Amino acid sequence: MLFMVIEHFKQGNPRPIAERFKSKGRMLPEGVRYHASWVDSTGARCFQIMEARHLQLLDAWIACWDDLVDFEVIPVMTSADFWARPQSEGSQ
């Protein structure tokens, strides 16, 4: 499964996150894969695409960062995968 992870930097401050990342790396547990990330122009949020078999696998990773970041995790799929699924009339 793919997940859009929106990281809201506590106090809007990216510096502590950058320092931990430089010293410890991303700290991904086995079974979690990082795809890509983007930071908003103010430096207050990061948007990441992560992959894992299920949401619970992200919990260990989130625990490494939740003192510095508030997380919003949204299951997503590629547009191609979405449109390849059978569409019911009520889901439009």
Q: What is the pLDDT of residues 19-39, one digit of tens each?
A: 999 999 999 999 999 999 999
Residue 42: partners with Cβ closer than 8 Å, 6 or more residues away: 12
pLDDT above 70 coverage of the chain, percent: 96
Q: What is the pLDDT of residue 30?
A: 95
Identify the pLDDT of residue 89.
57
**pLDDT for 63:** 96
Instruction: Please give the model's pTM, rounded to 2 decimal places.
Output: 0.86
Structural domains present in the chain: 2-79 (3.30.70.1060)
**Confidence check: pLDDT of 58 > 90:** yes
- Can you tell me the distance from the alpha carbon of 14 to that of 5, in angstroms, rounded to the nearest whole number? 16
Four-residue CA torsion sign, 24, 67, 30, 36: negative
